Amino acid sequence: MTTPRRPPAAAPPFGRVVTAMITPFTADGALDADGAQRLATHLVDDGGCDALVLSGTTGESPTTSDAEKETLLRAVVEAVGDRARITAGIGTSDTRHSTALARSAERAGAHGLLVVTPYYSRPTQEAVTHHLRTVADATGLPVMLYDIPGRTGTALAAGTLLRLAAHPRIAAVKDCAYDPLKSAKVLAATGLAYYAGCDEQILPLRALGGAGCVSTAGNAAPRAVRAVLDAFDAGDTAGATRRQLALIPLIEAVTGGEHPGAVTVKALLNHLGLPAGPVRGPLLAPDAELTRRLADALQTTLDRTADGDTAAVPAAVPG
């Protein structure tokens, strides 16, 4: 039995089904702009993504130069910018550098900015607030805050998020904090659009009123990721649950081990014959055994969802 169709909790300013896209490199480690265009086109036109995030964690942003980030962004905007919203990751530990990257991304055609909490230096909440407001003031683009304390060492406190929500261009949060109480408090008190930044949280956060997801697993199985949200928004809560659970083997393989998502996803895309290439140091390519386990996990997820489910999900849920 289904329940009535649910409208989005808020207009999703950064799209709804968003993939945190890897950055393809050539065999010798150079930026593969042509490969990025092919992959972005595949994710949007074949995979059903309505948005992409570039130069995030999965995009190996600490290892790409400012010029490479701009080249990547321009290439992807050229390829799919009229069919998907493109968000540029511009977060660094240096406020001046992040501000410069934000302005560069705006000039290059980005539709929005992803700004991570400054890492390593462990700033106070007051300093974090100043940093994020300064970056948001630098352009006219909407900003998605990236709350991922497991990587940065600094969480965005609920009070900080409530203060930042008053900024006219701070519109969303990519939530990797694993703090559902905080998420619920901020969702209840603000108009911020919440995006699940961890694939296992896609359905739980949507049920709380989240706007969508920024998915790592979506690089390899975008339709299976989209199917979770499409089923829930169509009122099929049982189907949404089944689809979320079907993703677990892939999610665990991609993000549940010691290897970062950039490593595991690139291994899967290379296995599938899609543009990816090697990772850059300090990351190391997976061995053959890990690649085999990743491929098996992907196949298990696809088998669990391919009994007509994901293929039958429409390209867009009617409003």
Known catalytic residues are: 146, 174
Q: Which residue in the block uniquely carries the two structure tokens 């570039």?
A: 54
8 A C-beta contact, residue 173 and residue 147: yes
Cβ atoms < 10 Å from Cβ of 297: 22
Question: For residues 255-293, b (16+ Cβ closer than 10 Å) or e, as one string?
Answer: beeebbbbbbbbbbbbeeebbbbbbeeebeebeeebbee
Contact 14, 142 (CB under 8 A): yes
Distant-in-sequence, close-in-space partners of 55: CB < 8 Å, separation ≥ 6: 23, 61, 64, 69, 72, 73, 88, 89, 90
Q: Tokens 């089944």 correspond to what residue?
A: 242
Element (H, E) at 249: helix 248-255
Phi/psi of residue 23, nearest 5 degrees: -105, 110
The answer to whether 54 touches 86, Cβ cutoff 8 Å, is: yes
Q: How far apart are CA 291 and CA 250, in angstroms?
A: 12
CA nearest to 248, candidates 224, 280, 278: 224
CA distances from 146 to 57, 168, 227, 231 (A): 10, 17, 24, 26
Is the peptide bond prior to 282 cis by the omega test (within 30 degrees of 0)?
yes
Is residue 20 within 8 A of residue 220, CB to CB? The reply is no
For 236, the token pair is 């099929």
